Amino acid sequence: MSKSPVTVIGLGPMGAKMAAVFLENGRPTTVWNRTAAKAAPLVDKGATLAATPADALAASELVVISQTDYKAMYDSLGGETHALKGRVLANLSSGSPDELRRAGEWASGHGAELLTGGIMVPPPAIGKPGSYVFYSGQETTLDRHRETLRELGDTTFIGTDVGLSMLYYQAQLYLFWSTLTAYMHGLALLGTAGVSAEQFHPFATMSIASLAEQGPMGYMRVITDEVDSGLSPGDANTLLMQAIGADHIVEASREAGIDTRGPAALKDLFWRAVNMGHGGNGLSSVIEAIRTPAP
């Protein structure tokens, strides 16, 4: 049986790769982009270039959107709302959770269904083993198009709230960026003493591995259990001790002549939790300061 068609709107690095993956899987693929010239390599591979957004919507029930933001979707489709009826918009663009919820209301108001998604790999890894996408919306809608969307990566359904996929996406990105940025800060700090990145690398990887260790003593496992239980025992390693240690990282960075704002933000967060009364608790009690924005 022939595969069901798909339309891809937005042909930046992400969208172009998605369209290419669909074509590689033998799926009839229609594309549209505000700058039509970007479609030429995909047309050479067999894609159909739609002349207008309305033509792109008419070509497939499933419309995968990969644009800079949700405003771009409105700019592209806002004048073609008559063509939205009966369409499933799988928007994998970035935005805020409330923005996605408003987009869901906009889509349903024009007879379309919105699936939101956060794709958790860079463009070259789309469609490769290990690629996965968080989806939220109606699971029955996702099930109807799961075969198509699975060509981009594993389809991980997380709930009916269309804003939830973006919360997962942003939580993962923040974890990714902050971890690598902390690593770079460590490299810069050691670099002032002539230590190369290569020399520090094996020690940093051991630290990261200990965070993700799956056993009961893995640091992320411990934090997970303590946050869910609401218990944060300080034992022999209180938050107060760690806040004092954070002071020393800031001072070491200042002495080394490198930027201190990252460590200073961490130090301030630790001390705010201490001042809230959590100094005798463990590190996981910092979440109480995160949950309570500073005035």
Q: Is the domain of 183 the same as that of 156?
A: no
Interval 76-122: pLDDT, tens? 999 999 999 999 999 999 999 999 999 999 999 999 999 999 999 99
Q: Is the domain of 232 the same as that of 134?
A: no
- In a domain, residue 193? The reply is yes
Interval 178-189: pLDDT, tens? 999 999 999 999
Q: Is the domain of 60 the same as that of 17?
A: yes
Q: Is the domain of 157 the same as that of 75?
A: yes
Report the amino acid identity of residue 187.
L
Domain final position from 133, 167, 201: 167
CA 93 from chain centre, in angstroms, equals 10
236 pLDDT exceeds 90? no
Q: Is the domain of 183 the same as that of 103?
A: no
| Strands 113-119 and 88-91, bridge-based pairing | parallel
CA distance 144 to 23: 20
pLDDT of res. 50: 98
pLDDT of res. 1: 61
- In a domain, residue 195? The reply is yes
Domain count, the chain: 2
Is 112 within 8 Å of 87 (Cβ atoms)? Answer: yes
Output the average pLDDT for the chain: 96
Q: Is the domain of 194 the same as that of 163?
A: no
Q: Is the domain of 158 the same as that of 250?
A: no
210 pLDDT exceeds 80? yes
62: CB partners within 8 A, 6+ apart: 4, 5, 6, 7, 87, 88, 90, 145, 148, 149
Q: Is the domain of 161 the same as that of 184?
A: no
Handedness of CA 127, 131, 136, 140 (dihedral sign): positive
- In a domain, residue 190? The reply is yes
The Cα-based distances of 180 to 63, 110, 168, 176, 205 in angstroms read: 34, 42, 18, 6, 11
Q: Of the ranges 27-41, 205-219, 248-262, 264-278, which one carries the lowest mean pLDDT score? A: 205-219
Interval 26-81: pLDDT, tens? 999 999 999 999 999 999 999 999 999 999 999 999 999 999 999 999 999 999 99
Interval 158-200: pLDDT, tens? 999 999 999 999 999 999 999 999 999 999 999 999 999 999 9
CA distance 34 to 51: 10
Residue 161 belongs to domain spanning = 6-167
